[in-house]
């Protein structure tokens, strides 16, 4: 009888000890796997908003920055370029920006918050190539024709976009260039990737 009591207590002790050690081992083995699900500081930085100084951007110039590993183009348009956009409504696929390629505050004839600036992802919506910026008057140099009003063309498959990032009819690209979320912090600074400071409509 005494041996049975000792064996029973010993069995209980060993079972408890094995359970505790096994549980601790399971927790220790789980920690590395769970930590891999947490984004690294580098990954967080890649997705973070990017603040850009546009105070030095001259009319007709384009600035390229990276956000989430993608090129973002910031183009400063002159009044003539903005006025020309209306004349192209008949030759672009989505003149009123009805497709979901931009936030609601950029769903207008300029596809921007401020007519002077165009902010788009510099990636063709066909197969992801990076289009080339060709100013008005540079059409013949790029085989775009003498009547080229300025805009972007994709060297991979020939898609053309106007200075609002709207794709021309008959092109391989199915939709306009994407406008990323953004907000102006001042007249000379814009934040790409965050529009939380704007009232959404």
Q: Does residue 142 have an active-site annotation?
A: no
> Which 3 state secondary structure label does DSSP give 29?
helix
Catalytic residue among 126, 142, 157, 182: 157
CA angle 54, 111, 159 (to 5 degrees): 100
- Spatial separation of the C-alpha atoms in residues 100 and 122, rounded to whole Å: 17
Phi/psi of residue 83, nearest 5 degrees: -65, -35
Q: 180: exposed, middle or buried (C-beta count within 10 Å: 0-12, 13-18, 19+)?
A: buried
Q: Six-digit token pair at 87?
A: 């004349």
Strands 151-153 and 132-134: antiparallel
Among all residues, which ones are annotated catalytic?
A: 157
């Amino acid at each position: 009888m005494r041996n049975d009591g000792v064996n029973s207590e010993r069995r209980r002790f060993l079972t408890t000890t094995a359970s505790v050690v096994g549980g601790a081992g399971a927790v220790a083995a789980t920690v590395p796997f769970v930590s891999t699900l947490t984004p690294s500081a580098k990954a967080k930085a890649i997705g973070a908003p990017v603040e850009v100084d546009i105070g030095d951007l001259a009319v007709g110039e384009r600035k390229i920055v990276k956000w989430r590993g993608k090129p973002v183009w910031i183009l400063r348009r002159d009044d003539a370029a903005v006025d020309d956009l209306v004349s192209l409504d008949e030759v672009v696929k989505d003149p009123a920006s009805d497709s979901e390629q931009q936030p609601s505050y950029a769903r207008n004839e300029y596809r921007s918050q401020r007519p002077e600036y165009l902010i788009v992802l510099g990636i063709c919506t066909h197969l992801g190539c990076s289009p080339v910026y060709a100013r008005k008057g540079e059409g013949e140099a790029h085989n775009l024709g003498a009547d080229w009003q300025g805009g972007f063309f994709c060297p991979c498959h020939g898609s053309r976009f106007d200075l609002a990032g709207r794709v021309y009819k008959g092109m391989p690209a199915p939709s306009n260039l994407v406008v990323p979320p953004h907000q102006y912090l001042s007249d000379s600074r814009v934040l790409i990737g965050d529009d939380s400071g704007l009232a959404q409509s």
